[in-house]
């Protein structure tokens, strides 16, 4: 929101300096974003008079002028190419070393075609103040040389720009800003008075409303026999000071009221309206060319103003070109309406239109001002354009905005933290427009002014499934009692000065601070480090993927489908991060980087909720080795990643079992599942299904894994004893068992490990053989068992006894036999 200091003085009688005004604005919550001294860049320019202008001896289009530039610069010779440079006219003079804003150059003294030139005679365009012209600017005949041009032209004003929060629609008006500054003690607010203009004839146009939910109330009147044209200088200066371009008197008047009172208006050319009724209704797919020259399609979600020929205005946002006022306009119809903020915001967002009217309507305008604003606009139009006003016509009714709010004085200090005397609090509220209804020594009840749409608004809560209707009503009533009082406390503190509220330290929860990182977050950080050390690069992907892609990696229920996705191929909440990793690997492969490893730690979604998943993927080949090339990735690489991850998170390898029931998007024979007990799945790993890999465009296997860290409990904090390292040499024995093909190797390893826990310190697989030399349906599994003596060396008899235990344990668990 921009306003000039002179414009503010129209409503605020004050002697405060710009610095004091800016400090007060910051103090009361209207943050100053920029202050601009309009005349600062024009300071070097001064008025002057051409005493003599003769033809340049060496150039047909140049004149050598003798210029009186006032006492400071004296008489100066200037070479000028303007066709209107002649003796006797008053002009704008720029001395040497002056920066010319319109041209972006700095002039220097010198010679032009052999003649000395000690400055420049300027046009308004060169000062950045006007349009392109064929000559220099000519000032009034009685202009005295040597005056500052900024002072002479009244361009020494200051423009202040403030940031306005969405709840302060009243601060989008110069009058509203003046009201706040007056309440803060910076001056006296001048009252806004609107003289009633009596209509002398029935209006040529009337109103009809068919969508009162979007527009509850509208006023209007006809003014005939007006004379439109360029605006007077004072009006142009006001608008241009805040960055608005002057268009014509009638349009400029509506823009003036938008900025001055925060009251958007619109004027129609009456002679361009078809029929005698303007209807405020919903759109029906019509096209309208707006005042910005663009065509828009309005729908049933949009509020429009239509006549007998169709839609003529996007209500509350922008008028239509078909009924706009022009220089030849003689009869106009003024629109002054109240529009629902939500409808305005949705239409503006849907159509992509930004306008000063939309900006104010969607934040809420003064609901009691339309009558006074219409009268004031009528008076100004008649003063500047002449004409005769009709009677006022209206439709709908003024909404019931009246409401009260109660403030208990002790709550100012107990809730706001600042002691304010009750009389002072009442005085502040009065300056802000809150009228006292009743008061006593403990509290005051005030009526909320029509322009404060953010104070004491009715509260409507969505019914929660756990609350009964009576409980919802009780909660709404409680909030309705508390919220208005908080609003009033905020107003009192804001005007008193939030900088005066003494700081309060938060009460300490504990003498000893808690852990800065929760165990769950520490687990994720540890995961990230482990994966990075294993050569995987972290990625961050969307939490949603294409529905078809999600279906390839598990369930893609409709309940997890997005109704309004940011893109058509991102319409499903992902069940796992793997689809994003696979697409990232495919893009890298297409760009010549087939051998890589990626991981992501993020959420996976199911109908039962979401869970954190650490997913990784490896594609391409292993690094090349001396004497040969790299090998394609195998599922064992993914298994090694998972084992390292689980061990880093404190999961003992002895507690894990591996099963072959991996999800369907893994290779059915080259994948597995790590479990803790029979039910808890900690991780899955393996090659991705060949169909997935082939459809993704890979010509080599792609391996992946998923780890579910939330299913891993926090490791118990126990003091670790020093390892009991034996001084004796360990010994190893190999065993080969003949078992059925469907017996998992894990069963053999677990049985051997449990045969003699004190001495067996390691069991590993070293061979699996299936072939014609074995009975049909059987396989040979070779394992290596490590025995670690503790106190004394083992004798042959003891070794044989332990070996027999291992064989017996495996045979019992598998129904197999020891292979001879």
Specify binding-site residues for Mg(2+).
454, 487, 490-491
Nearest to 78 by CA among 44, 39, 115, 31: 115
Rounded Cα gap, residues 240 and 259, in angstroms:
12
The most distant pair of C-alpha atoms in the chain lies apart, rounded to whole Å, by 132
Q: Alpha helix locations (H) across 223-339?
A: 233-241, 249-260
Residue 311 backbone dihedrals phi, psi, to 5 degrees: -70, 130
Rounded Cα gap, residues 604 and 558, in angstroms:
15
Yes or no: say if 620 and 596 are a contact pair by the CB < 8 Å rule.
Answer: yes
**Joined tokens for residue 587:** 């893009």
DSSP 714: P
**Joined tokens for residue 38:** 């309009």
Please provide the DSSP assignment of 128-158 as one string. TSS---SS---B-TTPPTT-BHHHHTT---E
CA dihedral 582, 584, 589, 595 (to 10 degrees): -80
CA dihedral 270, 275, 277, 283 (to 10 degrees): -100
| Residue 749, SS3 per DSSP | helix
Q: What are the DSSP E strand ranges found in 626-697?
A: 656-659, 666-676, 680-688
CA 10 to chain centre: 36
**Joined tokens for residue 173:** 């008006």
Q: How do strand 310-314 and strand 188-189 relate by DSSP bridges?
A: unpaired
What's the number of CA atoms in the CB half-sphere (13 Å) around residue 268? Answer: 30
Q: How do strand 32-37 and strand 158-162 relate by DSSP bridges?
A: antiparallel
Yes or no: say if 282 and 306 are a contact pair by the CB < 8 Å rule.
Answer: no
Give Cβ neighbours of residue 312 (< 8 Å, ≥ 6 apart).
268, 273, 278, 288, 304, 305, 306, 319, 320, 322, 323
Say which residue the tokens 């489908």 belong to. Answer: 561
Rounded Cα gap, residues 652 and 647, in angstroms:
6
First to last CA, the chain: 93
Angle at 32 between CA 30 and CA 33, to 5 degrees: 130
Rounded Cα gap, residues 75 and 48, in angstroms:
9
Q: How do strand 731-740 and strand 817-818 relate by DSSP bridges?
A: antiparallel
- Give the burial class of 663: count Cβ atoms within 10 A of its Cβ; 0-12 exposed, 13-18 middle, 19 or more buried: middle
Binding residues, by number, are 454, 487, 490-491
CB atoms within 10 A of CB 803: 17
């Amino acid at each position: 929101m921009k306003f000039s200091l002179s414009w503010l003085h129209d409503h605020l009688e004050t002697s405060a300096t710009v610095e004091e005004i800016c400090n007060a604005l910051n103090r009361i919550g209207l943050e100053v974003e920029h202050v601009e001294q309009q005349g600062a860049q024009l300071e070097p320019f001064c008025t002057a008079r051409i005493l003599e202008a003769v033809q340049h001896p060496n150039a047909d289009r140049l004149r050598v002028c003798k210029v009186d530039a006032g006492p400071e610069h004296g008489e100066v010779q200037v070479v000028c190419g303007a066709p209107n440079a002649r003796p006797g006219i008053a002009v704008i003079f720029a001395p040497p070393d002056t920066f010319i804003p319109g041209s972006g150059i700095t002039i220097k003294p010198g010679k032009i075609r052999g003649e000395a030139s000690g400055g420049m005679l300027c046009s308004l365009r060169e000062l950045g103040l006007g349009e392109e012209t064929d000559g220099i600017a000519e000032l009034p005949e009685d202009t005295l040389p040597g005056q500052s041009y900024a002072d002479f032209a009244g361009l020494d004003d200051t423009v202040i720009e403030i940031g306005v929060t969405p709840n302060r629609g009243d601060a989008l008006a110069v009058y509203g800003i003046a009201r706040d500054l007056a309440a803060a003690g910076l001056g006296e607010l001048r009252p806004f008075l609107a003289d009633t203009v009596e209509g002398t004839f029935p209006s040529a146009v009337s109103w009809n409303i068919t969508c009162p939910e979007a527009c509850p109330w509208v006023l209007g009147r006809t003014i005939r026999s007006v004379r439109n044209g360029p605006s007077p200088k004072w009006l142009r200066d006001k608008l241009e000071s805040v960055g608005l371009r002057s268009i014509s008197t009638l349009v400029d008047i509506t823009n003036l009221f938008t900025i001055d009172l925060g009251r958007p208006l619109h004027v129609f050319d009456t002679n361009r309206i078809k029929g005698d009724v303007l209807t405020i209704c919903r759109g029906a797919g019509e096209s309208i060319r707006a005042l910005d020259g663009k065509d828009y399609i309005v729908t049933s979600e949009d509020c429009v103003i239509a006549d007998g020929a169709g839609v003529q205005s996007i209500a509350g946002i922008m008028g239509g070109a078909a009924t706009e006022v022009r220089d030849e306009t003689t009869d106009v119809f003024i629109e002054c309406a109240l529009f629902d903020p939500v409808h305005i915001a949705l239409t503006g967002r849907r159509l992509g239109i930004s306008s000063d009217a939309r900006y104010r309507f969607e934040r809420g305008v003064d609901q009691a001002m339309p009558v006074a604003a219409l009268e004031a606009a009528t008076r100004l139009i008649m003063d500047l354009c002449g004409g005769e006003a009709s009677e006022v016509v209206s439709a709908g009714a003024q909404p019931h905005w009246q409401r009260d709010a109660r403030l208990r004085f002790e709550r100012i200090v107990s809730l706001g933290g600042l002691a304010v005397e009750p009389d002072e609090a009442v005085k502040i509220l009065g300056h802000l427009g809150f009228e006292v209804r009743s008061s006593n020594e403990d509290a005051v009840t005030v009526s909320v002014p029509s322009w404060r749409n953010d104070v004491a608004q009715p509260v409507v809560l969505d019914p929660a499934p756990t609350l009964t209707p009576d409980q919802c009503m009780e909660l709404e009533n409680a909030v309705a009692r508390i919220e208005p009082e908080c609003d009033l406390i905020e107003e009192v503190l804001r005007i008193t000065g939030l900088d005066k509220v003494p700081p309060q330290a938060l009460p300490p929860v504990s003498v000893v601070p808690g852990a800065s990182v929760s165990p769950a977050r520490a687990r994720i950080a540890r995961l990230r480090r482990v994966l990075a050390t294993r050569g995987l690069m972290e990625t961050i992907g969307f939490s949603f993927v294409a529905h078809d892609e999600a279906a390839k990696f598990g369930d893609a229920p409709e309940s997890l489908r997005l109704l309004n996705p940011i893109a058509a191929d991102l319409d499903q909440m992902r069940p796992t991060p793997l689809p994003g990793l696979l697409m990232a690997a495919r893009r890298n492969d297409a760009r010549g980087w087939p051998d890589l490893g990626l991981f992501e730690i993020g959420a996976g979604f199911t109908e039962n909720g979401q869970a954190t998943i650490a997913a990784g993927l490896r594609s391409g080949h292993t690094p090349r080795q001396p004497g040969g090339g790299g090998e394609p990735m195998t599922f064992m690489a993914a298994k090694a990643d998972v084992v390292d991850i689980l061990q880093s998170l404190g999961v003992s390898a002895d507690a894990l079992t591996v099963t072959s029931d991996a999800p369907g998007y893994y290779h059915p024979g080259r994948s597995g599942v790590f479990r803790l007990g029979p039910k808890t799945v900690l991780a899955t790993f393996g090659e991705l299904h060949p169909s997935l890999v082939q459809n993704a465009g890979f010509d080599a296997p792609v391996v992946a894994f998923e780890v579910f860290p939330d299913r891993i409990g926090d490791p118990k904090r126990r003091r670790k004893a020093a390892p009991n390292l034996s001084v004796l040499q360990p010994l190893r024995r190999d065993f080969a068992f003949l078992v059925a093909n469907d017996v998992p190797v894990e069963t053999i390893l677990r049985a051997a490990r449990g045969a003699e826990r004190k001495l067996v310190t390691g069991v590993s697989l070293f061979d699996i053989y299936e072939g014609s030399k074995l009975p049909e349906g059987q396989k040979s599994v070779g394992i290596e068992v490590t025995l670690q003596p503790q106190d004394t060396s083992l004798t042959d008899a003891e070794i044989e006894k332990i070996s027999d235990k291992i064989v017996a344990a495996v045979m019992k668990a598998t129904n197999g036999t020891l292979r001879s």
